[in-house]
Structure 1
Amino acid sequence: MAGIEFEAKALDIDPAKIARLITDAGGTCTTGTCLMRRYVYDTIPAVTGRWVRLRETGSGTTLCVKQIMTDAVDGTHETEVTVDSFEETAALLRLTGLTPRSYQENRRTSYTLGAVRLEVDEWPRIPPYLEIEADDEAQVWTAAAALGIDHKQLTSINTTKVYGLYGIHLDSIADLRFE
């Protein structure tokens, strides 16, 4: 499946407070907190802002190519397919000559608010953030407003740039795990 992601992040959040705001606004928790793991690969040839991601979500595994066009709410393009096995797909990618540049873990708790998908992401070494993802830009802003989050408090930068805000160069970390 290919498409544009419409998403924005509220950084440095309190997960319990955000959970209350979501449920108070009529949202529903759709998953408990899941450990997600991923391998990140450079494309061939390597292109800045484009990478391959193999990710296990707890409920399934996907392989995708992500490309950051801009830091706008609609600036990320993703082409994604579902695969059967994290380990077997990683082995297959190694056979094609792709070697992961990093292994990463995060924890995610998922919610819905109408048609909008809300993800509380917790990553090692940085404060948690809320990701608001929808089918169009207007839905992103409407969901944020329903949670009492001002448009000015949101960013659409990717996780690599979020790490950069905390002085951490994510691309230089080959193994990012929770302790």
Structure 2
Amino acid sequence: MAIEYEVKVLDIDVPDIRHKLELLWANGESEKLMRRWVFVMNPEINEWIRLRDDWDKISVTYKKKSGQKIDETEEIEVIVEDFEKTAEILNKLDFKEKYYQENSRKNYILGDIEFSIDSWPKIPPLLEVESDSEVKVLEWLKMLWLAWKHSWNLSTVKVYDMYGLDLHSFKSLKF
């Protein structure tokens, strides 16, 4: 079982975060539009399959969040070749719910840690910080002066909930 060490920081000041990351010599990638299908397996236990095209790769990922702590997300990922055909196959299966979503992302890489500035329709931008250990994620939050801000290991559904929106009310979420 692979554990994903990731937190989301909401309501960020995008120019400030970009400036701090550039001062730290983080390697910035170009901003890109990402598209995904989300197939809910069991909403009661926060378990789903995600098909995502992030332009560098197309992946199918099993995800299960057992809580909101940094180490409470199980993730298993496999790379696939064709987004449309994989979506067609997965859409034929009997999932509880199905959703199409888009967001834009700008990644910054610094060693073995990834910072992603994400923009989603209808909510303010957020920052995801991900690495191979909880300690590294928390250290980098402090280095960016973000430790004081609220950061959580939240699913996108929970992020939308925090803004009073039901993500699942949007069967197709686009810019």
| Contact 1:110-1:118 at 8 Å conserved across structures | yes
Which residue matches 2:69?
Answer: 72
Provide Cα deviations, 1:94-124, integer angstroms capped at 9, x if missing partner.
Answer: 3444586110000000011221111001000
Provide Cα deviations, 1:65-119, integer angstroms capped at 9, x if missing partner.
Answer: 1100110011111111000010010112234445861100000000112211110
Which residue matches 2:13?
Answer: 14
Q: Which moved more, 1:146-155 or 1:127-136?
A: 146-155
| Contact 2:45-2:66 at 8 Å conserved across structures | no
Local SS of the residue matching 1:101: strand
* Identity fraction in percent: 35
Matches within 5 A, 1:30-179: 31-43=29-41, 47-98=44-95, 101-178=98-175
Deviation at 1:155, TM superposition (A): 1.7
| Structure 1 length-normalised TM | 0.91
Provide Cα deviations, 1:29-50, integer angstroms capped at 9, x if missing partner.
Answer: 1x2111000111122x665300
Query: Are the structure 2 counterparts of residues 156 and 94 from structure 1 closer, same or farther at C-alpha, using a change threshold of 3 Å?
Result: closer
| Contact 1:132-1:140 at 8 Å conserved across structures | yes
Deviation at 1:26, TM superposition (A): 2.7
Structure 1 outlier segments of 4+, above 6 Å: none
Q: Which moved more, 1:10-19 or 1:114-123?
A: 10-19
Provide Cα deviations, 1:142-166, integer angstroms capped at 9, x if missing partner.
Answer: 1111111125532222211111111
| Structure 2 length-normalised TM | 0.93
Where structure 2 has 5 or more consecutive residues not aligned to the other structure, the ranges are: none
Q: Which moved more, 1:101-110 or 1:9-18?
A: 9-18
| Contact 1:93-1:99 at 8 Å conserved across structures | no
> What letter matches 1:169 in structure 2?
D
Query: Are the structure 2 counterparts of residues 154 and 22 from structure 1 closer, same or farther at C-alpha, using a change threshold of 3 Å?
Result: same
Deviation at 1:15, TM superposition (A): 1.9
**Root mean square deviation of aligned Cα:** 1.7
Local SS of the residue matching 2:3: strand
Number of residues of Structure 1 aligned to a counterpart in Structure 2: 175
